A and B are shown apart, each in its own frame.
Chain A
């Protein structure tokens, strides 16, 4: 158990819909990362937050947004969903915002029909 909690574990929805994925980092970790993993794309970095502030941005679509709240949990919002958004979405946390190991949650599997 990494100590990172993600909900929901599974989510099935339709194209055009909007979903929110939630992540609670390990106790004491200030930084949260979101990654998308699909079969043909591998693990793709989306966005990182550190203590409530956006720290780094990767290949995140404009339809996607995220935030980190004062209690350090984070949410990833995916809107106008398309079939190609079906993937595993992982959250990871670390103590600091750079270097060091990442602790990953078990992921949220999103299926868009």
Chain B
């Protein structure tokens, strides 16, 4: 069956360090992959989209990689700040459907 796996355990890092979050998938052939940020009790907010023919995408302090051979995406936040603390969701897109992973909670400590 199709599965999207994100580390369900919270990731705790020190301010200023680089946070790396992982999204693995099985039995999917996504045309694109997206990352969203979700704060408690709020709706997800779009961060980045990367297509299957792209290896890497950057936006300010954010970087996403997409390896269709490994079936994995890595999401990096450089020079992390306490304000980056949130849950980060990856989502795989194929056709008209966007399917979300369970998310990883990131805690950045000052």
Chain A residues packing against B (C-beta within 8 Å): 2, 4, 33, 35, 42-45, 48, 50, 55-56, 58, 88, 90, 92, 97-107, 109
Contacts and interface: CB of A to CB of B under 8 A. Distances in A.
Nearest to A106: B43
14 contacts: A35-B100, A42-B100, A42-B101, A42-B102, A43-B44, A44-B100, A45-B100, A48-B97, A92-B43, A98-B93, A99-B49, A101-B34, A102-B34, A107-B43
Given A99-B32, A103-B46, A56 B101 contact: no
Determine the interface band of chain B, counting residues with CB < 8 A from chain A.
Answer: 20 to 34
B99 to A, nearest CB: 6
A45 B101 contact: no
B49 A101 contact: yes
B46 A98 contact: no
A101 B48 CA distance: 8
Nearest to A41: B102
Contacts of A109: 41
Interface string B66-110: 000000000000000000000001000101111111110000000
Given A43-B89, A56-B95, A99-B93, A2 B43 contact: yes
A99 B32 CA distance: 8
Contact of B100 (A43, A88, A99, A100): A43
A56 B96 contact: yes
